[in-house]
Amino acid sequence: SYELTQPPSVSVSPGQTASITCSGDKLGDKYACWYQQKPGQSPVLVIYQDTKRPSGIPERFSGSNSGNTATLTISGTQAMDEADYHCQAWDSSTGVVFGGGTKLTVL
Amino acid sequence: QVQLVQSGAEVKKPGSSVKVSCKASGGTFSNYAISWVRQAPGQGLEWMGGIIPIFGTSNYAQKFQGRVTITADESRSTAYMELSSLRSEDTAMYYCARLYSSGASHAFEIWGQGTMVTVSS
């Protein structure tokens, strides 16, 4: 079955750029998306189709996907961005696949 | 704006079944795929399966094949997820989510508020 791997945690200082990676075999040949989840809340879609932002998502959130790695980038990170981030893709054999999630800490 | 409203928390005994509902309000229900995703305490998201109400066809993650049944009632704009043979490891928050698909891109654009299912003797 297809698997996606994320680092368990990432730390960033306020105002700096945070990068969260998601790795999978030939992930660049698929579309990746990203969800933000704050404690006690449902996930929120922040990036879909590798690079697109849904309405209402700040421009500081951006995405890329190439080779075996998709990356979520948060520019000018704010305290409110502290959350868990989950990547997701679709595999023709496995169906919907999620990464294990990354806890972003804004120090 | 479409909202997905789920049924309330459940406490179940091991070996029993649970059925969780997900009602869509404020928009079209039948044309969009609805999936169920669960999250054990402190863990990541796990896709269980989904349904396209207008077609009535369901597909399931291999891990849950034979133990989960996902259905939809178009007249009620409601999707259901039934999980049987419950065990303690099934204790989790269960979410329904509406899938946005564009070609090979599939992302969950709308999520329900979640239903906590606790399995305990």
Q: What is the pLDDT of residues B48-75, one digit of tens each?
A: 999 988 888 899 999 999 999 999 999 9
Question: Which of A45, A99, A100 is opposite residue B107, by nearest beta carbon?
Answer: A45
A102 to chain B, closest Cα gap in Å: 9
* Chain A residues within an 8 Å CB radius of B36: none
> Which of B43, B50, B107 is nearest residue A88 as measured by Cβ atoms?
B107
User: Count of CB contacts below 8 A, A vs B?
Assistant: 64
Query: Which residues have a Cβ under 8 Å from the Cβ of A43 and sit 6 or more positions away?
Result: A35, A36, A37, A86, B45, B95, B97, B108, B111
Q: pLDDT band for B46, please (50, 70, 90 cuts).
A: very high
Q: Quick check: A31 contacting B, CB < 8 Å?
A: yes
| B9 within 8 A of B117, measured Cβ to Cβ | yes
Whether A36 has a pLDDT exceeding 80, the answer reads: yes
The chain A residue lying nearest B41, using CA atoms, is: A40
Cross-strand pairs, B110: B98
Averaged pLDDT of chain B: 94
Decide if B54 touches A, using CB distance below 8 A: no
Rounded to a whole number, what is the distance in Å from the CA of B32 to chain A's nearest CA?
16
Whose tokens are 């003797």? That residue is B121
Higher local confidence (pLDDT), A101 or B31: A101
Mean pLDDT of all residues belonging to chain A: 97
DSSP-derived pairing of the beta strands B18-25 and B3-6: antiparallel
Query: Closest chain B residue to A101 measured between Cα atoms?
Result: B44
Interface test with B, best of A42, A48, A49, A93 (most B CBs within 10 A): A42
- Please report the pLDDT score of residue A15 as a whole number: 97
Are the CB atoms for B40 and B117 separated by under 8 Å? no
